[in-house]
Chains A and B, each alone.
Chain A
């Protein structure tokens, strides 16, 4: 029983990270209709920059905020430099540019931050919290709390602020949004910055638990995308649910079968969902969106 609980905790921990990455896919997909293949690199940049900033002597909270802000700026700049020049908005070209851009970001991290695997110190020191015969690392609690704060903040921004309404209007219909005076292309830039910030938050939060390196982006990108499509691409609530579900599936497969299968689970989920239910578990019955 306690073994199962322990697996569930590990699953929800990884699942929260996948949820953050999946949210990033969802936001850019809503704004552009394209899949952003650099999403995983934003996760990598968050973790790597935070380790580097903290290595420069910055206190951890400052380093974390600075890493997330810097990654968001990189995300926005990425859109301005590479995606904005594609005037026809062809999703195939946007995808290609994000693939190339992902390689450039990864290589920049390699050249500037080095090839080594690096780890961050935990946000709060101390032994794991023990209750009911299970142990929860303090960092896991941080991951849950930060993910919850990010999701609630995102929901509030989208519902209550003028900026959030403008983002939603742009994703529903771009030309109509422009007709009512919304700067639609600025909203696309903002979507990349926001997606980058969410990915970076995931990267920062998980850096104390798993070592991070310049090369982790592609793998987490695929998992985040699998989570997004498991829930239903284009729906933020579904992205979070998909992330948590994927984390649980992975953790149970690794726990009860063989740890080797852990990384295979996300791909199998991806293919099975594509085969059987491409609109995702929480998507509507209509197939217009896929």
Chain B
């Protein structure tokens, strides 16, 4: 099999492995871990679009996840909406938040968006705690029902896993279509040279704003899924730390790639649950690893950006090019 067919088959093979995993893994906790990996992958796919293809960073994506999670909780529990409607509303609310942030900050050169998103993230962490009538304050928001589509209830560990990863699949196909067609070329042109892209007639602000709104939408949907899978939302989840984690996954994954960030999101999520994956590991090792987790993320961002800006995807690309030459 030559490399071209292999490249065409790789996404299908990966999808097949992801799809049959619940048949091989029966431990519900492990399935839950893989479900979380899917939720993170959904957020990171949106960030990858933004970072790799539009050259922008967000330090507030946890806030969009939180908006989606609280919106889903509020709509299903207080308003008693059907799940699918609440799910769509969660995505829409996050996307609207993204639009409000992106419009002013993306008109400007430089990276005002990063600072605006950092401020937005901090403000939303505050709001999740303070807006107690809506969010339940520090105690959190409980009793969120499982996802349901019409009469079909999705409540087993395996079916939740399939739901989340199906969303990841849809997001990846959508993102791939966006990146490989006209908007994607515009985004890449933007990353290469803003002035050059503008000279070629690319509406740079429009492209950036649409990319940011799409990434906020994916984060909001991921939040709604999180709320429905866990059944409980607490403000301590949607902090700056979580935003940095998403960013680290994206950066380690690499530029101009969707597969790299996907792989990084899954790997870095699994690292958090190392004690569940490797049964023999001493609990002290797992604990030490956990207390240094943020250090690892911060250091990973510095090292990858300073010394290997292509990330995982860049390493693959270089190996492939090396292979072709030999």
**Contacting A103 at CB < 8 Å: which of B57, B295, B305?**
B295
Known contacts: A92-B57, A103-B295. The answer to whether A97 contacts B119 by CB under 8 A is no
B118: chain A residues at CB < 8 Å are 37, 218, 221-222
Interface flag for B170 (CB, 8 Å) = no
Are A92 and B123 neighbours in the complex by a CB distance under 8 Å?
no
Closest Cβ of chain A to B66, distance in Å, is 16
Question: Bound complex: CA of A226 vs CA of B116, how far in Å?
Answer: 9
Known contacts: A103-B244, A218-B122, A263-B126. The answer to whether A271 contacts B115 by CB under 8 A is no
Are B114 and A266 neighbours in the complex by a CB distance under 8 Å?
no
Interface flag for A96 (CB, 8 Å) = yes
A100: chain B residues at CB < 8 Å are 248, 251, 297-302, 305
Known contacts: A85-B306, A93-B309, A222-B119. The answer to whether A102 contacts B57 by CB under 8 A is no
Interface residues on B, range: 35 or more
Question: Bound complex: CA of A256 vs CA of B101, how far in Å?
Answer: 27
Question: Bound complex: CA of A185 vs CA of B313, how far in Å?
Answer: 31
Closest Cβ of chain A to B309, distance in Å, is 6
A263: chain B residues at CB < 8 Å are 122-123, 126
Are A104 and B122 neighbours in the complex by a CB distance under 8 Å?
no
Interface flag for A86 (CB, 8 Å) = yes
Question: Bound complex: CA of A96 vs CA of B50, how far in Å?
Answer: 14
**Contacting B115 at CB < 8 Å: which of A35, A82, A93, A275?**
A35
Known contacts: A35-B114, A91-B110. The answer to whether A226 contacts B298 by CB under 8 A is no
Are A274 and B59 neighbours in the complex by a CB distance under 8 Å?
no
Interface of B is mostly: helix
Whose C-beta in chain B lies nearest to the C-beta of A78? B302
Are A97 and B305 neighbours in the complex by a CB distance under 8 Å?
yes
Are A275 and B301 neighbours in the complex by a CB distance under 8 Å?
no
Interface flag for A95 (CB, 8 Å) = yes
Whose C-beta in chain A lies nearest to the C-beta of B291? A111
B297: chain A residues at CB < 8 Å are 100, 103
A24: chain B residues at CB < 8 Å are none
Question: Bound complex: CA of A102 vs CA of B305, how far in Å?
Answer: 14
Closest Cβ of chain B to A114, distance in Å, is 13
**Contacting A97 at CB < 8 Å: which of B105, B120, B301?**
B301
Whose C-beta in chain B lies nearest to the C-beta of A83? B306
Interface flag for B104 (CB, 8 Å) = yes
Are B302 and A219 neighbours in the complex by a CB distance under 8 Å?
no
Question: Bound complex: CA of A93 vs CA of B57, how far in Å?
Answer: 10
Enumerate chain B interface residues (CB-CB to A < 8 A): 55-57, 59, 101, 103-105, 107-112, 114-116, 118-120, 122-123, 126, 130, 240, 244, 247-248, 251, 292, 294-295, 297-302, 305-307, 309
Known interface pairs A96-B251, A222-B115, A267-B120; 13 further A-B residue pairs with C-beta atoms within 8 A, sorted by A's residue number:
A33-B110, A92-B55, A92-B111, A97-B302, A102-B298, A103-B295, A218-B122, A221-B118, A267-B123, A271-B105, A274-B112, A274-B116, A278-B108
